[in-house]
A and B are shown apart, each in its own frame.
Chain A
């Protein structure tokens, strides 16, 4: 009697489970008969190239695979611990690739085009490579013809001396580099001196200093005094006035100077000797004027960020060109040394800033792209893009 009651209870229980299923467990005789949640689990085990192949199988697989395909990837060797909960509303469309955490995507990483062709990278799907140069040498250089490899971005964290020694061994392969971006911290400023003579023919030099301490910019620039530098981009550099007074004089062919520093105010007197040069225009344009009111307002915002997040904020950098008519690039770089909890205020303010940009986007008639870098907040690939940062990376 008891057994029959129990049996009936189990039967009801099990059937209640079954009726919730829209498929029958006895009919799964093909891949297509598997429910979506199971197919998504299968796709989880594939690297991006395999997902791409699968996405073309039929329309159902295509829609499933689109959830898994990277739209944009930040490819980094930074020692970042990926965390499921480390999502940032700031960084919604990026997926971080990290060789340490996603070895299954090694094939994808080998196949991506890391030639950094600017025109290509502005397209909807692109890869930002933050790989250290030694891995670029071993992987990308072997797959990319030297003629095509004209841009190189190298990150030199503390203790890069050994890496630079390796780089020297490949010196012949680096002669095609015309555009050089160096990310450097103050701890590695001595190491960078070893770069002297490695790059021949660099026209465009970008120094991105990952530090809040003083950095001997003039010493670094002296390494490139024999190069025909036409474009120079300095990000977050201190000793800037000294540089403007001395180092820049030796750069006879300099056509473009981009300085990224939101709190910098260059006095006209600093550039007296550059009167009637293109740089004077830069100097004048950076002065407050009506057309910059909006941005000025937001620069004040950034100041506020420093004020109430000073203890946790390592660096906020806003890069703007001075005039709406000529601005083709807008980027915001953030570095958070600590966790998300410390950055709520920053998020709120940056959101306001982005909102302002979006509202005023029509005034940037030549804006080609807008980037947002956030090196600490990592997004999960499944995060739904939020609307207000849609303009990222799009040609307007």
Chain B
């Protein structure tokens, strides 16, 4: 008997047929599947998602690539993500940095957050953080097109507070 397939439906109607283990990279989808069949999936199912097709396509691509990878559980003994070993593979770098415009990168991060795909979210956040590293405030504003809403007085006051590290 063939294994049941999961069909993910994007908000714009695009469908992606994936194996259950691929879909279950997402905790949200995994919960939905468990919600439907406590004893496991016995038939093909279709899951509607509020994610655009072009974004969902990339998320599925990531999940397909890592469908057999077993990610380590977060270590409660470690202080924070800074203590974890680097997780960005060459493939991840290519996936995020070379293939997309910034808006796509953020949409994938949002989708990972929405679908609760921790590893993808972690990789996405690391990628954005890497883009920020070493840049000045002005460069970050320019890079990510973020407007400055500080008054000159506010900015000067904050700089005074922070000068101890400079």
Residues of B near A46 (CB, < 8 A) are 129, 132-133
Say which residue of B11, B122, B145 sits within 8 Å of A26 (CB atoms): B11
What is the bound-complex CA distance between A6 and B34, given in angstroms?
A: 12
Restricting to B118-163, which residues have a CB under 8 Å from any CB of A?
121-122, 125-126, 128-130, 132-137, 140-141, 144-150, 154-155, 158-159, 161-162
Say which residue of A57, A85, A112 sits within 8 Å of B141 (CB atoms): A57
Residues of A near B128 (CB, < 8 A) are 31, 42
Residues of A near B130 (CB, < 8 A) are 45
User: Which residue of chain A lies nearest to B136 when distances are taken between CB atoms in the complex?
Assistant: A53
Structural contact, A33 and B106, CB atoms closer than 8 A: yes
Q: How large is the interface on A (under 10, 10 to 19, 20 to 34, 35 or more residues)?
A: 35 or more
Structural contact, B106 and A14, CB atoms closer than 8 A: no
Structural contact, B146 and A57, CB atoms closer than 8 A: yes
What is the bound-complex CA distance between A65 and B110, given in angstroms?
A: 20
What string of 1s and 0s marks CB contacts (under 8 Å) between A1-37 and chain B? 0110011011101100110010111111111111101
Say which residue of B32, B110, B162 sits within 8 Å of A28 (CB atoms): B110
Structural contact, B50 and A102, CB atoms closer than 8 A: no
- Interface residue total, chain B, C-beta cutoff 8 A: 64
User: Which residue of chain B lies nearest to A7 when distances are taken between CB atoms in the complex?
Assistant: B46
Knowing A26-B51, A83-B77, A104-B82, say if A38 contacts B109 (CB, 8 Å): yes
Structural contact, B103 and A13, CB atoms closer than 8 A: no
Structural contact, A41 and B125, CB atoms closer than 8 A: yes
B63 to chain A minimum Cβ distance, whole angstroms, is: 16
Residues of A near B114 (CB, < 8 A) are 17-18, 21, 25
What string of 1s and 0s marks CB contacts (under 8 Å) between A67-89 and chain B? 00100000000000111110000
Interface residue A123 (Cβ < 8 Å from any Cβ of B)? yes
Residues of B near A82 (CB, < 8 A) are 78-79, 83
Residues of B near A344 (CB, < 8 A) are none
Interface residue B71 (Cβ < 8 Å from any Cβ of A)? no
Restricting to B8-23, which residues have a CB under 8 Å from any CB of A?
11
Structural contact, A10 and B45, CB atoms closer than 8 A: yes
Structural contact, A84 and B150, CB atoms closer than 8 A: no
What is the bound-complex CA distance between A59 and B151, given in angstroms?
A: 10
What is the bound-complex CA distance between A318 and B109, given in angstroms?
A: 51
A357 to chain B minimum Cβ distance, whole angstroms, is: 26
Structural contact, B146 and A32, CB atoms closer than 8 A: yes
Interface residue A227 (Cβ < 8 Å from any Cβ of B)? no
Residues of B near A113 (CB, < 8 A) are 164-165
Interface residue A285 (Cβ < 8 Å from any Cβ of B)? no
Interface residue B76 (Cβ < 8 Å from any Cβ of A)? yes
Interface residue A326 (Cβ < 8 Å from any Cβ of B)? no
What string of 1s and 0s marks CB contacts (under 8 Å) between B77-88 and chain A? 111111100000
Interface residue A284 (Cβ < 8 Å from any Cβ of B)? no
Interface residue A332 (Cβ < 8 Å from any Cβ of B)? no
Residues of B near A10 (CB, < 8 A) are 32, 35-36, 45-48
Knowing A10-B46, A26-B11, A26-B51, say if A34 contacts B109 (CB, 8 Å): yes
Restricting to A136-176, which residues have a CB under 8 Å from any CB of B?
none
A107 to chain B minimum Cβ distance, whole angstroms, is: 8
Residues of A near B155 (CB, < 8 A) are 56
Interface residue B43 (Cβ < 8 Å from any Cβ of A)? yes
Structural contact, B50 and A18, CB atoms closer than 8 A: yes
Residues of A near B166 (CB, < 8 A) are 52, 111
Structural contact, B83 and A101, CB atoms closer than 8 A: yes
Can you give 17 A-B contacts (C-beta < 8 A)? A10-B36, A25-B107, A30-B103, A30-B145, A32-B144, A33-B110, A35-B113, A38-B110, A42-B128, A56-B158, A83-B77, A84-B78, A84-B79, A101-B79, A111-B166, A113-B165, A381-B79
Query: Which residues of A are interface residues toward B (Cβ below 8 A)?
Result: 2-3, 6-7, 9-11, 13-14, 17-18, 21, 23-35, 37-38, 41-50, 52-59, 61-62, 69, 81-85, 101-102, 104-105, 108, 111-113, 120, 123, 125-126, 380-381
10 closest cross-chain pairs (CB), A and B? A45-B129, A28-B110, A29-B103, A31-B144, A25-B114, A56-B137, A41-B125, A28-B106, A42-B125, A82-B79
